[in-house]
Structure 1
């Protein structure tokens, strides 16, 4: 039995706006003694924690210096073993395209107590906030969520055959995404929506088709974004 009073909470911060934080996550932040947080987390969340809370920004952003996963694991274990209430704050949901498993493994090896607090993933929130339903009785009987951080690891033949794609971390790889969809005969008129900074005051939305989305977004920064590919994008006209 673990007797150390320390505990690590792996908390989902939602899509980026404090208003989409869960009530439980809010209550956990109020008792934080150590906060270890990612990039893309609303800075207003930092005002919830007590004034004497230690804060560590370990966010990873493409092309910029960042804290290694090993260092993050060490911080979690170190402060938990000191008896602290440690909050590991991640954008979205902790178990969706995060590195939570590596952190959980480190915590279990060190016999640290931990709890997971779900958050709203941008994969679900961004389409809704853009007025795009991911399912429809006719247009979309299923959808798949994938990350395009490494496009070479995806089975594009299978993805291209599906009705609705939700692609995370794909803003910088839009050209490759379009290339792969065309390679596997996704129709040129297939609608595409790109939602950047979903749920924040900076939210931007671009809508086009496979045939013209690259042209429509040329020269623009598309990260961080959620990309929706499929006929359901057309339903935005009825919702917005």
Structure 2
């Protein structure tokens, strides 16, 4: 690490800005929004304050004359942006008296660099790449922006207002730290993040014995709870913001076999990770055992994440787990995920509904042949219905037989989409009559079957089979 991240107290003095044009105005807006008092030497003579509020403009001192002879008394930092040849000369003067200086896009003449900044009021995150790639720093900042709650700065300010009071009530540092962990992770913190500050103030004020509040659980953390999280079909970038927060807060994660390693990598590093899923043909620990693990972990005061592929409520047994948690009196919440059927449709450009062609969608599961045999296929013969079959690879021959026997055309377009949204995603497209053979082409699951005329609209460049499929429709039309 060449550059040490530090935070400059802008109330200690004036920032001198030299330069003109868009580059100087960009720095001016940044400084003014941070509350800095700025002495601006516009080297091009154009003091354009456009885009600044009246309050921000009041903190800018417009100065004329030669900046190389500027009075540096009370200046805490020097910035050059769009200053041309003046930059290195002013840098030399600042260095000579020990003032930190930044010359934009000139590492040689700078003693500090500007990070990409995430500003949440009292919470500020700085991201730097040592000047190597400001674009990468901005991309990282954008990722952080999506994860940080909008009111996280309010939470920091809330704690700051109570800090001295709680310090007087809890002199022991370890216990005081646990107190604030419980506040941040518990109901009071949630109230602040929801914008309900008055309720949060009242709740904190109602704590009679702060030490007992902090020591109520050995871990010092909030009471245990379970969050059912939909991990989506595989691509970690499809996780919701709430899902990422839950993974970062978790003490223990019980995850399905189909959850990708890339998604688990987004979890808190020191969280315990327990696999509880199973693959086709392999034994698992059973749903009752999973329910009991969730209950026991929550009752021990742990923050539990039950991480499930796709969405918890679409063939994910999320409903069964919630019933068990309710009966045990365990607090829980649900964070939905992108189900595999929608992931397949988006990746391979198969519109599940299409005007005048498909007005209904049916989701069903056919884990085994007997599952397919139990389906009443006569209700699925409407040509304007799209059928999405989960876990249908093994049962593909029975799915085909059931639909054909019910009267669905053998030439109905069908797609088999495997490992959707992942790097090794694959697909095979053909007709209902060819379904078992299509399954053999995709080299292993998990896979989604999509059946219906909408499959003919999939992206042609990704599906060689569409050429043959198009000929079927042409012949039928003639």
Q: Which range is displaced more, 129-138 or 215-224?
A: 215-224
Q: 2:344 aligns with which of 119, 126, 147?
A: 126
Separation in structure 1 between the aligned mates of residue 290 and residue 324 of structure 2, nearest angstrom: 10
Q: Is the 8 A contact 1:169 1:224 kept in 2?
A: yes
Name the CA distance, whole Å, in 1 between partners of 2:459 and 2:348. 10
How far residue 66 of structure 1 moved from its aligned partner, in angstroms, is: 1.2
Aligned partner of 1:176 in structure 2 is 398
1:193 is aligned to 415
Where do 1:2-81 residues align within 5 Å? 5-81=223-299
**Paired position in structure 2 for 1:210:** 432
Cα gap change, 1:108 to 1:237, in 2 (>3 Å): closer
| Equivalent residues of 2:428, 2:441 under 8 A apart | no
Runs of 4 or more consecutive aligned structure 1 residues displaced over 3 Å after TM superposition = 215-222, 237-240
Q: Is the Cα–Cα contact under 8 Å of residues 312 and 336 in structure 2 kept in the other structure?
A: yes
User: If each structure's helix is expressed as a fraction of its own residues, which one has the higher value?
Assistant: 2
Q: What corresponds to 1:115 in structure 2?
A: 333
Q: For residue 100 of structure 1, report the CA deviation from its aligned partner.
A: 1.4
SS at match of 2:433: coil
Q: Which secondary structure does the structure 2 equivalent of 1:128 belong to? A: helix
Relative contact order, higher structure (CA 8 A, sep 6+): 1
CA distance 1:33–1:205, change in 2 (3 Å): same
Equivalent residues, number: 239
1:100-129 per-position Cα deviation (integer Å, ceiling 9, x unaligned): 122112111111100000100012111121
Match of 1:227 in 2: 449
Which residue number corresponds to residue 151 of structure 1?
Answer: 372
Report Cα offsets for 1:14-63 as digits up to 9, x if no partner.
Answer: 01111111111001100110100001111122222233211110112111
Instruction: State the Cα distance separating 1:238 from its structure 2 match.
Output: 6.5
Aligned-pair distance for 1:213? 3.2
Name the CA shift for 1:31/1:215 in 2 (closer, same or farther; >3 Å): closer
* CA contact 1:79–1:86 (8 Å) conserved in 2: yes
The TM-score with structure 2 as length reference comes to 0.48
The structure with the larger Rg is: 2
Aligned-residue Cα RMSD (Å) equals 2.0
Unaligned runs of 5+ in 2: 1-215, 217-221, 463-478
Distance 1:43 1:215 in 2: 30
Q: 1:215 to 1:34 in 2, by over 3 A?
A: closer
Change in CA separation of 1:202 and 1:229 when aligned onto 2, cut-off 3 Å: same
The verdict on how the C-alpha distance between 1:219 and 1:109 changes in structure 2, with shifts beyond 3 A counting, is same
SS in 2 for 1:139: coil
Q: Is the 8 A contact 1:172 1:222 kept in 2?
A: no
- Whole-Å Cα distance in 2 between the matches of residues 217 and 226 of structure 1? 10
User: Structure 1's 197 and 219: CA in aligned 2 closer, same or farther, altered over 3 A?
Assistant: closer
Aligned to 2:302: 84
Q: Which moved more, 1:78-87 or 1:50-59?
A: 50-59
- The 2-side partners of 1:239 and 1:207 are apart by 12
For the 8 Å contact 1:171–1:225, the answer to whether it is kept is yes
Contact 1:172/1:223 (8 A) holds in 2? no
Deviations 1:149-192 (A, max 9, x none): 21122111111235211111101111111111110111111110
User: In the TM superposition, what is the alpha-carbon distance from 1:212 to its structure 2 partner?
Assistant: 2.5
2:459 & 2:248 partners in 1: Cα distance? 41
Gapped regions of structure 1 (runs ≥ 5): none
